[in-house]
Amino acid sequence: MGVVKLVLDASAILSGVTIPCTDDMFMPPLVEAELGHAWARRKLESLKDVCLVVQEPSREAVEAVKAKCRETGDDARLSEADIHVLALARQTGATILTDDYSIQNIALAQGIPYRAIAQKGISAVFHWKYRCKGCRKIFDTAIKECPVCGAEVRSYRGKGTGFRGSGIG
């Protein structure tokens, strides 16, 4: 059997599910910084003692992920830590362990394998649109306030995309 490579998102640690050590297990430093709960920090430290490597993704991998996020509309939905998870998986050829649907969406769009942990995963790429809560005008890019009426703008899945079941991997 080949080498199993995993990149862990914060949800992998926070899920409470036991994560068996693999040959190559990675996490970006920004995700490590997100884990503030004492029990999550203990779980993280025990993984680091045995098999987890904290590693920064390359600038090129981060930029490639950000470009795809702009295409799907996930750029407003992902944190910098989420982008680093995707970039590190892209760079290392690893499978992402996450329950975050936005991370799964970009992973699916880029052909990066992922596995859901405690939730159902997605199997269709979402393309996000943005709709004004007041005048209902639709925008292709994320904005906080409608330039037409000043109301809040919210994201929604565009037509032809959606949730269809379990994850990959």
Q: Is 138 contained in some domain?
A: yes
- Residues 22 and 67 grouped into a single domain: yes
Segments forming the whole domain that contains residue 148: 128-157
pTM of the predicted protein model: 0.76
Per-residue pLDDT tens over the stretch 16-26: 888 888 879 99
pLDDT of 3: 65
The predicted-structure confidence for 100-158, as pLDDT tens digits, reads as follows 888 998 898 889 999 998 877 776 776 777 889 999 998 877 788 999 999 999 887 76
The answer to whether residues 107 and 131 touch, using CB atoms and an 8 Å cutoff, is no
Same domain, 136 and 81: no
| CATH assignment at residue 138 | 2.20.28
CATH number of the domain where residue 54 is located:
3.40.50.1010
Residue 159 has a pLDDT of 59
> Structural domain tally of the chain?
2
Which amino acid type is present at position 58?
Answer: S
Q: For residue 3, what are the CA distances in angstroms to 18, 47, 53, 94?
A: 20, 18, 15, 10
Does residue 168 sit within a domain?
A: no
Q: Is residue 57 part of a domain?
A: yes
Directed axis angle between helix 59-72 and helix 101-110, to 10°?
100
Q: Is residue 120 part of a domain?
A: no
φ and ψ of 104, to 5 deg: -60, -40
Do 144 and 65 lie in one domain? The reply is no
Classify residue 163: in a domain, yes or no.
Answer: no
Residues 95 and 132 placed together within one structural domain of the fold: no
pLDDT value at residue 22: 82
Query: Token match 């990959």: residue?
Result: 168
**Which tens digit of pLDDT belongs to each residue from 35-49?**
888 888 899 999 999
Q: Which stretches of 16-82 are assigned E, i.e. beta strand?
A: 24-27, 52-54
* Per-residue model confidence as pLDDT tens digits over 79-110: 999 999 999 999 999 999 999 888 998 898 88
